[in-house]
Amino acid sequence: MPKPTPPPDDTPAPGHAILWINKLSQKATNHPQSMLVSHMDNNLDHLFTALSDPTRRAVIAQLGAGEAPVKDLAQPHEMALPSFLKHLAQLERAGLVTSRKVGRTRICTLHPEALQTAQSWLDQQRAAWKGKLGRLEAYLEKDTR
């Protein structure tokens, strides 16, 4: 009677399915395309987080008129400067705003091209749903005849 072949080195022993699943997911996340999707998801998360707050949207609108010092951006918002700086940090993390120091003043600049990632994702979603809804409409029309 031949001996059974041992499992490959990366296959956990029976009863260790969790380890095997973890190993598989680890391999999947090391795949370049998975890393790209993960990076895009991360950018989207930062963008939508930045856009989710009315204070941050107001700052984006203010910067739409041109560069501005932090002091001027903070003035219309009724909050302490440290709290306002957290909002700016979110906008910077999303890539929507950069700041530079000029003397003792920090100047902020809007980068609207950062919204292109969100626009691309929304366009993909719109196209996917348009196709699905079109097929549903055709099915319902066929079904009602």
The CATH number of the domain holding residue 52 is 1.10.10.10
Q: Which residues contact 10 (CB under 8 A, 6 or more apart)?
A: 23
Residue range 103-127: mean pLDDT, rounded: 91
Domain contains 7: no
Give pLDDT, residue 129: 84
Domain contains 139: no
Residue with tokens 């003035």: 75
Sheet with 105-110, strands from edge to edge, namely: 68-69, 105-110, 97-102
Domain contains 70: yes
From CA 80, how far away is CA 70, in angstroms rounded?
Answer: 12
Q: Is the pLDDT of residue 136 over 60?
A: yes
**Cα–Cα distance list, 113 to 4, 44, 53, 89, 117 (Å):** 59, 13, 19, 18, 8
Domain contains 31: yes
Q: What separation, in Å, do the N-terminal and C-terminal C-alpha atoms of the chain show?
A: 66
Query: Of all residues in the chain, what percent carry a pLDDT higher than 90?
Result: 48
Give pLDDT, residue 20: 39
Give pLDDT, residue 118: 87
Phi, psi (deg, nearest 5) at residue 22: -60, -40
Give pLDDT, residue 84: 97
Domain that holds residue 32: 17-112
Give the count of domains, the chain.
Answer: 1
| CB-based contact 49:90 (threshold 8 Å) | yes
pLDDT tens per residue, range 16-62: 444 434 444 444 445 444 444 454 567 899 999 999 999 999 999 99
Residue range 113-130: mean pLDDT, rounded: 88
